[in-house]
Amino acid sequence: MIPGARLVLLGRQGAGKGTQCARLSRHYVVPHISTGDMLRAAVREGTEFGRKAEEYMHAGELLPDDIMVGIVDERLESDDTRTRGFVLDGFPRTVAQAEALLEITSPRGINVVIDLEVPREVVLARLASRRVCNDCGTNYSVDLPPKYDMVCDVCGGDVVQRDDDTEKAIAQRLALYDRETEPLIEWFQGKGLLDVVDGTGHPDDVTDRLVRTIDRRREP
């Protein structure tokens, strides 16, 4: 059996992070932990927390660090992540979250943090055409839709445009990424944990590049 892995993917929204995290999760047989998906599930459940989260998400703002760290800490406590590992998608997004992550995962730490690099113009075009399954979070696009009209190939859920993929919210999220999350790249570089992977081209080629990079970093 392929040994597990403890991975973090960074990259602008629309860089293909969600798709690649799902693929890496299958390849290394580790849970795909997407904080955005967890929050959207809470919104659908209509809990009080979900309603609060929705306000931030609609405004294109980040939820407070302590809340996000609490959610991820709890998830990383479960048996599957403790034994096999994880691929983190959408977390950390701030230096405070990154500091907390290294503490939470200590002493084993993480194998590698990957910056999935895609130019801004490509990202904008991808976000405008992105469609996503309401139930399992699988990503599609206008150019690569599910086989049957807007019915998810994986789980049969409804494939829709995300509520927060409006032009205004997209512009705000990209600005927020530049301000809050991009500094993380240098921060992780300083810790010797960062690799940059080219996220352009066919998704299969991107996955190959990611796996090669990750395998160089994992312990034998």
Question: In DSSP terms, which residues pair with 33 in a beta bridge?
Answer: 88
Q: How far is the CB of 163 from ligand AMP (least distance, A)?
A: 10
CB-nearer residue toward ligand AMP: 139 or 207? 139
If the CB atoms of residues 61 and 74 are measured against ligand AMP, the closer one turns out to be 61
Q: Report the alpha-carbon distance of residue 21 to residue 148 in Å, rounded.
A: 24
Cβ contacts of 147 within 8 Å, gap of 6 or more: 153
16 or 36: whose CB is closer to ligand AMP?
A: 36
* Minimum gap (Å) between residue 46 Cβ and ligand AMP: 17
Reference 161, options 131, 138, 181, 134; nearest CA is 131
Residues designated catalytic: 17, 93, 130, 162, 173
- Alpha-carbon gap, residue 66 to 95, rounded angstroms: 12
The minimum distance between CB 180 and ligand AMP, in angstroms, equals 9
Residue nearest to ligand AMP (CB): 36
The span from the CA of 94 to the CA of 177, in Å, is 9
- What are the beta bridge partners of residue 140? 131
The strand pair at 130-133 and 139-141 is best described as antiparallel
Q: Which is nearer to ligand AMP, 61 or 77 (CB)?
A: 61
Contacting positions for ligand AMP (CB under 6 A): 13, 35-36, 39, 56-57, 61-63, 68, 90-91, 93, 97, 173
Indicate the pairing of strand 32-34 with strand 130-133: unpaired
108 residue type, one letter: R
Task: Tell the smallest beta-carbon distance from residue 45 to ligand AMP (Å).
Answer: 15
